[in-house]
């Protein structure tokens, strides 16, 4: 553990590395790496060899063995299986303004960067979520889910806007 690390009423396993992070009322198993600048909030459980990286927040969630959330990720009220990879900027949306809901993510799931998973939803084992997706429905095992608008390019359109050099 480094300076700037705060641990409150938590159980920390052997060979765990925590760098400039906060862990509250949670259980962290052996071989876990946390941080820098991560926040593990109450009622979370990180299984063996989990990696919770830079600016990752985990709240009220169970994270399975060998799962990685490298950076800029929020995992709230979720049950996450083993060998899951969260791309940068992934958010499990757990609150609709009135109620909290749970996300369930199976084993060996890959979630592409900048994805939003809106609970209640379940991602089946071995499924994939395409980068930039908003997931609002269950994803079956072995499936890929892509939930984003298709890019549209409008040629010459920028020339009509006031900021374009031709309009100054």
Is residue 165 helix, strand or coil?
Answer: helix
pLDDT of residue 2: 82
The reply to whether CATH 2.160.10.10 applies to domain 6-167 is yes
Active-site positions read 71
Q: What is the pLDDT tens value at each position of the chain, 168 positions in all?
A: 788 899 999 999 999 999 999 999 999 999 999 999 999 999 999 999 999 999 999 999 999 999 999 999 999 999 999 999 999 999 999 998 899 999 999 999 999 999 999 999 999 999 999 999 999 999 999 999 999 988 899 998 988 888 889 887
- Residue in the structure block whose two tokens are 């700037």: 4
How are beta strands 128-129 and 57-59 bridged, if at all? unpaired
73 vs 59: CA distance, rounded Å: 11
pLDDT of residue 65: 99
């Amino acid at each position: 553990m480094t300076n700037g690390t705060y641990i409150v009423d938590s159980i920390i396993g052997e060979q765990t590395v925590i760098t400039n992070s906060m862990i509250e009322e949670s259980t962290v198993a052996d071989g876990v790496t946390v941080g820098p600048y991560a926040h593990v909030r109450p009622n979370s459980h990180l299984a063996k060899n989990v990696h919770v990286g830079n600016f990752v927040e985990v709240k009220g969630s169970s994270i399975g063995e060998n799962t990685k959330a490298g950076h800029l990720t929020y995992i709230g009220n979720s049950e996450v299986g083993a060998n899951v990879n969260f791309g940068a900027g992934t958010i499990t949306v757990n609150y609709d303004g009135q109620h909290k809901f749970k996300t369930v993510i199976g084993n060996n799931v890959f979630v592409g960067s900048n994805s939003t998973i809106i609970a209640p939803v379940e991602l089946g084992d071995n499924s994939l979520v395409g980068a930039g997706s908003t997931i609002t429905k269950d994803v079956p095992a072995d499936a890929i889910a892509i939930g984003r608008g298709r890019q549209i390019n409008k040629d010459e359109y920028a020339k009509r806007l006031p900021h374009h050099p031709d309009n100054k």
